[in-house]
A and B are shown apart, each in its own frame.
Chain A
Amino acid sequence: MSAPESILKAENLVKKYREFTLDHVSLNIPKGYIIGLIGPNGAGKSTTIKILMNIVKPNSGDVKIFGLDYKKHEKEIKNRIGYVGEVQYFYENKSVTWTGKFVSQYYKKWDENRFTALLNDFQISRTKKVRELSKGMRVKLAMAIALSHDAELIILDEPTSGLDPVVRREVLDILMDVTRDENKSVIISSHITEDITRIADYITFMINGKIHLTIEKDDLLSNWKKIHFKKGALNQEISQTLSNVKEGMFGSSGITDNYLKIKDKLSAAIEKEDIKVENVGLDDILISFVKGE
């Protein structure tokens, strides 16, 4: 079977700031997939996304979206992208209707009916001025714009950051609904691991300006496990296959990134009742990466 068509390809992106460097970041987003970009604050997620949107220019590296580059095809690329930024900027003293009309002039495939339907679904009053909208409403307005022009790639930079749990869930549900269309790809950055777990197909971990790991979510869930051992049960051989090993009063624990491979070794070496295996949350993995840096 041939590999899925790549919709976005970023190679060796470098961006140097005084106190931070995005260090040779490469990304490849296949058509129809949701990629979650996860990392602690200051990991370089937003910088990467801004480079992908051509809001920030990299010092070096190359970005190709739909096989096109920004130098010659900025308008064509952005016509096919829906973007929701970390902070939503609009004309503050203009109404929601005015904002919709303003942006509609720039999108070739703008669907006014879809925009109206989304505003109704999101319960955003069209007559309200943008400055009167709450943070959650602004995110929803940005989402409505991003989803009203038949975008093939949706780029979301911390869209749920600062939202209350109810609105956060609503935003994620909308996103999951959209991505049922297999032609749409999504890249979403977040430091809220729960959001990424909920929707992503692939997960990319970023730490200190570098990509640490890109993995399919199902692979991650089946291979990454936290294993608890009763006191004295953990031997040297198994210990070497684990990371983040901790010794406690009642036993020890560690994380494996290859559970399927060591499963047999574990059952041969250790009594079943001496170990407990549990799924690892993305938080645990992220923390183990951060500590290992």
Chain B
Amino acid sequence: MIGIMKKNITFFIQYIGFLYPLMVLYWFLRKDSFDLPAIMISGFFFYLLISGSVNILESYEFKNNVYHFFKTLPLNAGDIVRAKFYNVLIAVFFLFTANSVIYSIIIPDKNMQVFSYIFILCCMLLTLNIIAVLYIGFFSIGFNKMGKLLWITLILWLVLTILSVEMYLIKLDANLLYAFISRINRMVWVIVTFAGFASYYGLMRIAIRQLEQNYDNV
């Protein structure tokens, strides 16, 4: 398992490590106008970076029958799937931490800062669970069909981002939104976070079963 993780982490570092600094640079350049639309857009880039790396990685691995190679080694389906899921978890957690640190630096308004943390937390949990469902699809109906769905999720996320930005532009009172979110009990976010990770773990178990059952087709 460790071998696959090391190999994939190197890939994530190369891919995210190339694009993320460019994004951070852009954020710092428009630091003075880092408002709600900017936070929304950063959420889209969060998903874009993770789903993009998973897409490139898996298209390579499926195309080159790397799963067949794994199957000839002393590895079981659980080792393979766990390695993949932990890799995504590490990458997502890295982006979550990095984004949070950057928000704390470039967002001066306290309410807006709280909103940005909660927003990126939701992005993290949503990304994890969408990617988990995509992996289940990769192992049950194949990468070609499921790869298309990955693009659809990306487009949907983009559309939602554009819509939320548009709503802001038609004078949604952002301060009210920030105030509302910051008043929600912290316990709620703890429960949401726990539920998000629990669901990710549950989906990982389903993905392991799918790979075990459909190895012939992967």
Instruction: Mark A residues whose CB is within 8 Å of B.
Output: 53-57, 74-76, 78-79, 83, 85, 87, 89-92, 102-103, 105-108
A106 in contact with B75 (CB, 8 Å): yes
With both beta carbons as reference points, the residue of chain A lying nearest to B68 in the complex is identified as A89
Distance from A190 Cβ to chain B, minimum over Cβ atoms (Å)? 19
A106 in contact with B74 (CB, 8 Å): yes
Given contacts A55-B68, A89-B68, A91-B64, contact A103 B73 (CB under 8 A): yes
Q: Is B86 close to A, CB under 8 A?
A: no
Interface residue ranges of B55-79 to A (CB < 8 Å) = 64-66, 68-69, 71-76, 79
Given contacts A57-B213, A102-B3, contact A89 B76 (CB under 8 A): no
Instruction: Mark B residues whose CB is within 8 Å of A.
Output: 2-3, 7, 64-66, 68-69, 71-76, 79, 212-213, 215-216
B75 in contact with A55 (CB, 8 Å): no
12 further interface pairs, Cβ-Cβ under 8 Å (given A53-B71, A57-B216, A91-B7):
A54-B71, A55-B215, A57-B212, A78-B72, A78-B73, A78-B74, A89-B65, A89-B68, A90-B69, A106-B3, A106-B75, A108-B74
Distance from A291 Cβ to chain B, minimum over Cβ atoms (Å)? 32
Distance from A102 Cβ to chain B, minimum over Cβ atoms (Å)? 5
Residues in B neighbouring A75, C-beta threshold 8 A:
74-76, 79
Q: Pick the contact of B69 from A56, A78, A91, A108 — CB < 8 Å?
A: A91
Secondary structure type dominating chain B contacts: helix
Given contacts A53-B71, A105-B3, contact A92 B215 (CB under 8 A): no
Q: Pick the contact of A105 from B2, B64, B65, B76 — CB < 8 Å?
A: B2
- The CA of A57 and the CA of B213, in the complex, are separated in Å by 8
Residues in B neighbouring A92, C-beta threshold 8 A:
64
Residues in A neighbouring B7, C-beta threshold 8 A:
91, 102
A/B interface sample: 26 pairs, CB < 8 A: A54-B71, A55-B68, A55-B71, A55-B72, A56-B215, A57-B212, A57-B213, A57-B216, A75-B74, A76-B74, A78-B73, A78-B74, A83-B72, A85-B68, A85-B72, A87-B65, A89-B68, A89-B69, A91-B69, A92-B64, A102-B3, A105-B3, A106-B73, A106-B74, A106-B75, A108-B74
Residues in A neighbouring B212, C-beta threshold 8 A:
57
- The CA of A103 and the CA of B76, in the complex, are separated in Å by 14
- The CA of A91 and the CA of B69, in the complex, are separated in Å by 8
Distance from A145 Cβ to chain B, minimum over Cβ atoms (Å)? 9
B72 in contact with A53 (CB, 8 Å): yes
Distance from A158 Cβ to chain B, minimum over Cβ atoms (Å)? 15
- The CA of A70 and the CA of B164, in the complex, are separated in Å by 51
A91 in contact with B72 (CB, 8 Å): no
Q: Which of B64, B73, B74, B216 has the most CB of A within 10 A?
A: B74
